[in-house]
Amino acid sequence: MSFSFMDLMSAMKIGAVSYFTYKSYFVWFRDLPDIPKGYYLPIANIDLVSDDKCQSIIRDLTVKKKEMDRKYPIEEEQLFNINYNNDCFFTALYLGQMFDYWYGKLSFIDNKKLELKYELLLDKFWSCVNEECSYEDLKAYAEIFYHSYLKISGKDGGKNSQTAIMS
C-alpha cells in the first residue's frame, strides 16, 4: 500500500496556508526535509494566543532570516542550496500557524487561483520578515487570502462554489 502526498496532508490535519507551503516545497524537491533538531513550531490557540506573540515570532524570524542571509550570502546560489531551501521552508511554516490563529484552521483546497493568492501571501510574509513591510500589512494581506478562500470554497454564500473549486 502506497502513501501519497495527499494522504500525508490529510493525516497531518493542516490548514490551507500550511498545505500550500508543504505542496510548493514537495513540488520543487519531490520530498520533504527532515525536521531539524530543536525545531519548534508554535500552534495556533495554544502557543499563539495573541497578536503580540505573533509579532514576537516575526521579530525572531527577522533575526533568523538575517542569519540565513549571512550563512548563504550569494543570492543566486541560495536557490540551488538545499540547506537554504530547507531553512526557508521551516521558516515559511510559521505563516500557516499565524494564519490559523488569525482566521482558524481552514481545510485545504487544491485550487490554482487560491495557490496564486497563497504565493502572494508568502511574498508578503517574506517582505515582513525582511522588514520591507509591517506586521499589519502582512495581516491585511492574510485577510485578502481569507476572503479569497471563502469565495473559492463557496463559504461566503456565493452560488459558484463547485465551479470555483474545480478551476
**pLDDT attached to residue 16:** 95
**pLDDT attached to residue 165:** 40
What is the distance between the alpha carbons of residues 29 and 84, in angstroms, rounded to a whole number? Answer: 13
Residue with the three cell numbers 515559511: 92
Q: Which portions of the chain are predicted below pLDDT 50?
A: 160-167
**pLDDT attached to residue 167:** 36
DSSP 2-65: ---HHHHHHHHT--HHHHHHHHHHHHHHSS-PPPPTT-----BTTTB-SHHHHHHHHHHHHHHH
What is the distance between the alpha carbons of residues 126 and 12, in angstroms, rounded to a whole number? Answer: 25
